[in-house]
Amino acid sequence: MQALNQSIAVGPMGFSIGQLLIILAFGIALLTGALIGRRHRTPTADTLFNLLLIALVGARLVFVVRYWGSYDGVLSLLDIRDGGFDPLGGLAAGLGYATPAAVALPASECRWAARCWPAP
């Protein structure tokens, strides 16, 4: 058995180690974004929650498309108890959302943006 597939019971819910690591990473991203955002007076929580939601929906959609023949009806597509999230699909959806948002930042909000993206 792989280490990330082992699970931990928290009350009536069971979480795999991989899911707990994702929750921990998101919590660290929120904390880091809050600390840096407070310094620069920029809200980050909304962007991070949008990014998480879009990545989860993208990961689920890619998984459903890959295993389309295994589902009986529309309600079975929504049942996430099968553990059906495709990590690469989530990464692609998250990058698809985050890249235009990062490029659209004005140089005044991002110190290193002027070095990475020349002014039009």
Domain span including residue 118: 43-120
Asked if residue 53 and residue 30 are part of one domain, the reply reads: no
Q: What is the DSSP letter of 82?
A: G
Q: What is the pLDDT of residues 73-120, one digit of tens each?
A: 888 887 777 777 888 999 999 999 988 877 766 655 555 545 555 555
Asked if residue 114 and residue 88 are part of one domain, the reply reads: yes
Cα–Cα dist 33/42, whole Å: 9
Asked if residue 57 and residue 28 are part of one domain, the reply reads: no
pTM of the model: 0.70
Say how many C-beta atoms besides its own lie within 10 A of residue 112's C-beta.
Answer: 8
Q: What is the pLDDT of residues 27-37, one digit of tens each?
A: 998 898 888 88
Asked if residue 57 and residue 37 are part of one domain, the reply reads: no
